[in-house]
Structure 1
């Protein structure tokens, strides 16, 4: 028969519990914390809360003088200036943080050129120049072909049914014209018969074209020199221009600031809107 051992006296059990608690506080990194349920709690009273004025001092790393708050897991980190001053601001990294370079908005190139007395078309948007007539709407393509065929016939009268009349009449001049548009075209032709003006009209429609917005309406315009700045023309494009004007005319246009010779405008629904020259 095994004889049971007698339990420890009360004083011994109390001293043992106190020693266990002291050992757990002195060695926080020695291993997992002991559960309080493993202690003899019936004889050891543990305060539920720590009074605000109590100061906890650790033996391994004592807190800075005057610190009254319990350090967190990052107690080894130095307090930030905002914490030491008691300010409620977000924490920042230690050391200066470089700021990005300021955004510089370039000056208006055209305005700078005008102030310096120089002109440049580098800031002028250049429209897309087209040569493919297959890209034209069918009404525009058909009217263009009919006008060019009438011009090649040498018969000025064949242009009459293609001209708009009435309130939306085809514009042939910036000033007033006679009531008969065909007679007016004959009068402005250098040969007096209308053959020169028909040759000009044909060459204009044979050049490249652009699509532009004019008075809130789209317009197909020949030649594209009307919409493209002259100082941006390539050598090949200048050769195309000289099929319509002379070198002297070209210099006059550069001094004026744009193409001012004859041009044709046709609306997307196939209406001949204008055939004019000048500014």
Structure 2
């Protein structure tokens, strides 16, 4: 009986002691892994206009200096007569002819007439009016080239034009013209510039 009692006691003691395997299991932790951070590389853009800052665009004449505002109003009044000769007093008072495309002649009226598709030169008057009625930009501030330039597309990144701005552009050019401009990367239709002192600097096309 004593042997049986001892055996029962030994079995009970063995059952109450946790095994080393159980202890090892509770001590184990999951392995730690470290992932390298993901780095996103953006390739450089080949579109220079996409990196240009869009200048501020103005409309009307409320923000123009008085001399610039006065010359713009004189130009529009002369244009509305429908006669190129109405521009002659403005050329005479300018202190030198503005830069004109194809200006081989000393007579600016004759030069403008050659640019038009009609013998009276009224097409070029219509273009000039559309240009002056568009929005404008103030460019090259503080330099000898400082000017107020119409239309603003002449200095505006084509890639940044919004839908409404595209409608404004198509008042001046055709969709085909715009495609050519996109290929060149610049606006290449007529633009007009006036210095802050009110001198007519240019009326020209091209890039």
Please classify the TM superposition score into its range, dividing by the shorter chain length: 0.7 to 0.9
RMSD in angstroms over aligned alpha carbons? Answer: 2.2
The 3-state SS of whatever aligns with 1:153 is coil
Aligned length in residues: 166
Which structure shows the bigger proportion of residues in helix conformation?
Answer: 2
The structural deviation recorded for 1:123 is 2.1
* Higher RCO (C-alpha under 8 Å, 6+ residues apart): 2
* Aligned pair partner of 1:272 in 163, 182, 200: 200
1:122 Cα deviation after fit:
3.6
Aligned to 2:108, which of 181, 205, 224? Answer: 181
Cα 1:220/1:254, change in 2 over 3 Å: same
Task: Please point out which of 170, 189, 207 is paired with 2:98.
Answer: 170
Alignment of 1:119-134 (within 5 A): 119=47, 121-134=49-62
Match of 1:113 in 2: 45
Superposed structure 1 runs of 4+ greater than 3 Å apart: 164-168, 214-217
Q: 1:184 to 1:132 in 2, by over 3 A?
A: closer
Among 235, 244, 253, the residue aligned to 2:163: 235
Kept in 2: contact 1:120–1:231 (CA 8 A): no
1:194 pairs with 118, 121, 132, which one? 121
Gaps of 5+ in 1: 1-105
Q: 1:166 to 1:133 in 2, by over 3 A?
A: closer
Q: How far, CA to CA, are the matches of 2:189 and 2:53 in structure 1?
A: 21
Contact 1:151 1:199 in 2 (8 A): yes
Question: What's the CA shift for 1:164?
Answer: 5.8
Q: In 2, distance between residues paired with 1:168 and 1:113?
A: 43
State the shift of 1:132 in Å.
Answer: 3.9
Is the 8 Å Cα contact of residues 103 and 111 (structure 2) preserved in structure 1?
no
Residue 207 (1) aligns with residue 134 (2): yes
More displaced, 207-216 or 253-262?
Answer: 207-216
After TM superposition, the score normalised by the length of structure 2 is 0.74
Change (3 A) 1:197 1:168: same
Q: 2:189 aligned with 1:245, yes or no?
A: no
- In the TM superposition, 1:50-129 aligns within 5 A as 112-114=44-46, 119=47, 121-129=49-57
3-state secondary structure, aligned to 1:121? helix
Q: CA deviation at 1:149?
A: 1.0
Contact 1:131-1:207 at 8 Å conserved across structures: yes
**Structure 1 counterpart SS, 2:51:** coil
Runs of at least 5 residues in structure 2 that lack an aligned partner in the other structure: 1-40
Q: What does residue 5 of structure 1 align with?
A: none
